[in-house]
Amino acid sequence: MNIEQNLQKAEQLLTVWNKEATHPEANRLDVSISAGNLRPAVTALHNAHWGYLSAITGLDLGPASGEMEALYHFCNGAAITTLRIRLPRTHDASLPTIEDIIPPATFFERELHEMLGFKIKGAKSSDRLFIPDDWPEDVYPLRSDFSVEQAKPVEGRHANELPDEGVVGGNTFVVPIGPQHPALKEPGHFEFTVDGEIVTAARMRLGYAHRGIEKAAESRNWIQNLYLFERICGICSHTHSLAYSLGVEQLAKVEVTARAQAIRELVAGLERIHSHLLWLGVAAHEAGFDTLFMYSWRDRETVMNLLEQITGNRVNYSANVLGGVKCDIGLEQATAVKDGLNYLETRIRHYLEVVTTDTMFLNRTRGVGTISYVEAEEFGLLGPTARASGLVRDVRVEAPYGAYKHFPISAVTETNGDLEARCVVRLNELLVSCFAIRTILDNLPEGPLTVKMPRKIPAGETISRVEAPRGELFYYIKSSGGENPARVHIRTPSLCNWVSVLEKAVGRQLADAPMLIAGMDPCFSCNDRMITTVDQNGSRQSWSWKELRAYGIEYYKK
């Protein structure tokens, strides 16, 4: 089915509840419904297998209009249907929960509640996921009239109220993993209730290092934001800036040159290689196979050096600018990349052999955390985690963007859905990426690197999706015609994949839990980016960006 047919079908499915339907862009359908009709509408889309729930965006339209909006984005290939619900901007703006229909929605709904103050009726868990436990009630950081002074910690509460200390009863007790733990170098918190060695319950908590990026974006101009979003994640910084640039370019109706697009895809391919090799090392380390860990990270240096040679940076490459790229590929770089790829391809083939034949490693991966196709769909998994279960969720294939239209890639899938399959999918993907990079190098289109971008972006809203190494990265960008964006909402792939860990850890050995966490390639910097809180000398406080900047300048003067 092509995009138009898909959108027509969605419109038919939703006619009963449809208050007003528009087509803001060729691939989008925007349907306004009332809050009461949300559940039947979602059920209709879900039962008809019309795509998957990709994100829920909350919008505060400001005290002047007195309204808020919740946007439920469903993606089906390149087609996107948005259910738009408008509610009064009061404390009882409530939405019915859809987590029983679509399990991963629980994360989106909690974000919606904690950040914007939508009440979610019928939600199972009222724990806070992102904001600290001593954050005052009824203060919502993404509301447009939020000020830092409101966020004084509540007296007598801790930032992190953990149901504490050990024994639950009998042989059962809680093993905390994180926020500081050797298995997780990043600040997430998991509680595994174990009975002996068997995990009987799993819980998680995020938000230990929130940076308030979505909020910060509203007070920066379009160009500054590019560098801000690039710093959401050190591993997939290019995909973040790519998603943002693509979105802004769509809004400004600017077409980037073919050469710039090709270079963007090339850098994205190299980034995928670096990210997946990094993941392979982490997974091997979690399994206790440090030799593989050391070797894969050694080989990752090759691709890091290539990225440095092309862009000048090893981590936040800043290859993108609005309207193009800022680094060109010359003959020298092209040769270096090809040489590097020759080496990497032999190594990747070798690792592929290791992860499929090493008996001891297979002991820890084969048949562990198996997710069937049906479950993958139900959990709303994305990226390699979904593809390992045979579910093709790859924006590059489903909805090609940029250079992927001219240099298409094939989706790599496996059917077993266990940790072994996830290793194999990721490594095979690298071979595909290597091939794609070579094709681009051999057929690099001529042309300028950048086109002119306006300073002010025309009013409107757009959705930009790109395939990050971990899965679909979703950007919702709204402009009111000014120099700053009105709202940027980011839904990162890690957020969707958590369900797979929590569901699959239960009933398995504790020893498998770190492997399961690693198996979805979690990225905490992806998740922690919403509030301005800083830990300093043990006393937690919220800082405004201005104070933070002043502190930074003062700090480096010493």
Q: Which is nearer to other proteins, 317 or 361 (CB)?
A: 361
The span from the CA of 252 to the CA of 537, in Å, is 45
Q: For residue 513, state whether it binds other proteins (rule: CB under 8 A).
A: yes
The answer to whether 35 touches 20, Cβ cutoff 8 Å, is: no
Name residues contacting other proteins, limited to 276-305 (CB under 8 A): 284-291, 294-295, 298
CB of 266 to other proteins, least distance (A): 28
Answer for the pair 10, 76: CB distance below 8 angstroms, yes or no: yes
Q: Nearer to other proteins by C-beta: 28 or 364?
A: 364
Question: In the bound complex, what is the minimum distance in angstroms from residue 176's beta carbon to other proteins?
Answer: 7
Restricting to residues 33-62, name those near other proteins by CB under 8 A.
Answer: none
Which contiguous run of DSSP H or E holds residue 9? helix 3-14
CB of residue 460 to other proteins, shortest distance in Å: 47
Residue 392's H or E segment, with its range, is none
Residue closest to 10 by CA, chosen among 23, 25, 29:
29
User: What is the per-residue binding string for other proteins in 190-229, x denoting contact by CB under 8 A?
Assistant: ----x-xx--------------------------------
- In this complex, which beta carbon is closest to other proteins, that of residue 107 or of residue 289? 289
**C-alpha dist (Å) from residue 16 to 5, 32, 33:** 19, 11, 10
CB of 359 to other proteins, least distance (A): 9
* Helices within 101-221 (DSSP H only): 105-116, 213-217
Q: Which of 87, 101, 174, 258 binds other proteins (CB under 8 A)?
A: 174
Site string (514-543) toward other proteins, x via CB under 8 A: x-----------------------------
| 144 belongs to the binding site for other proteins (CB under 8 A) | no
List the one residue from 201, 511, 534, 548 that touches other proteins (CB under 8 A). 511
Q: What is the dihedral of CA 374, 379, 383, 388, to 10 degrees?
A: -40
Which amino acid, residue 56?
Answer: I
Evaluated on CA atoms 392, 405, 468, 98, the torsion sign reads negative
Residue span 152-171 as binding mask against other proteins, x where in contact by CB under 8 A, dash where not: --------------x-----
Work out how close the CB of 309 gets to other proteins at its nearest, in angstroms, rounded to a whole number: 22
353-392: contacts with other proteins (CB under 8 A): 358, 360-361, 363-364
Interface stretch with other proteins, choices 112-120, 142-150, 490-498, 512-520 (CB under 8 A): 512-520
Distance in Å from the first CA to the final CA of the chain = 63
390: tokens are 């045979």
Asked if residue 476 binds other proteins (CB under 8 A), the reply is no
CB-based contact 148:212 (threshold 8 Å): no
Q: How do beta strands 79-88 and 28-33 pair?
A: parallel
Among 418, 429, 512, 528, which residue sits at the site for other proteins (rule: CB under 8 A)?
A: 512
Q: Tell me the two tokens of residue 506.
A: 């239960």
The count of residues interacting with other proteins (CB under 8 A) is: 34
What is the x/- site pattern for other proteins, positions 300-339, by CB under 8 A? Answer: ----------------------------------------
- Kindly tell me which residue out of 67, 87, 148, 181 binds other proteins, with binding defined by CB under 8 A: 181
> Which amino acid is present at 143?
R
What's the token pair of residue 395? 């924006």
Least distance in Å: CB of 186 to other proteins? Answer: 13
DSSP 8-state code for residue 444: P
CB of 417 to other proteins, least distance (A): 20
3-class SS string, 452-509 = CCCCCCCCEEEEEEEEECCEEEEEEEEECCCCCEEEEEEECHHHHHHHHHHHHHCCCE
Residues, the chain, total? 558
Paired tokens of 302: 């090759």
The correct pick among 139, 159, 168, 175 for binding other proteins (CB under 8 A) is: 175
DSSP H or E stretch at residue 33? strand 28-33
CA-to-CA dists, residue 237 to 227, 248, 309, 386, 468, angstroms: 9, 17, 17, 22, 9
Min dist CB 507 to other proteins, Å, is 14
* Rounded least distance, CB 344 to other proteins, Å: 16
Nearer to other proteins, 4 or 197 (CB): 197
> Quick check: 173 binds other proteins (CB under 8 A)?
yes
Q: Nearer Cβ to other proteins, position 313 or 509?
A: 509
CB of 408 to other proteins, least distance (A): 37
CB 63 within 8 A of CB 89: yes
Q: Binding residues for other proteins, per CB under 8 A?
A: 166, 173-177, 181-183, 194, 196-197, 284-291, 294-295, 298, 358, 360-361, 363-364, 509-514
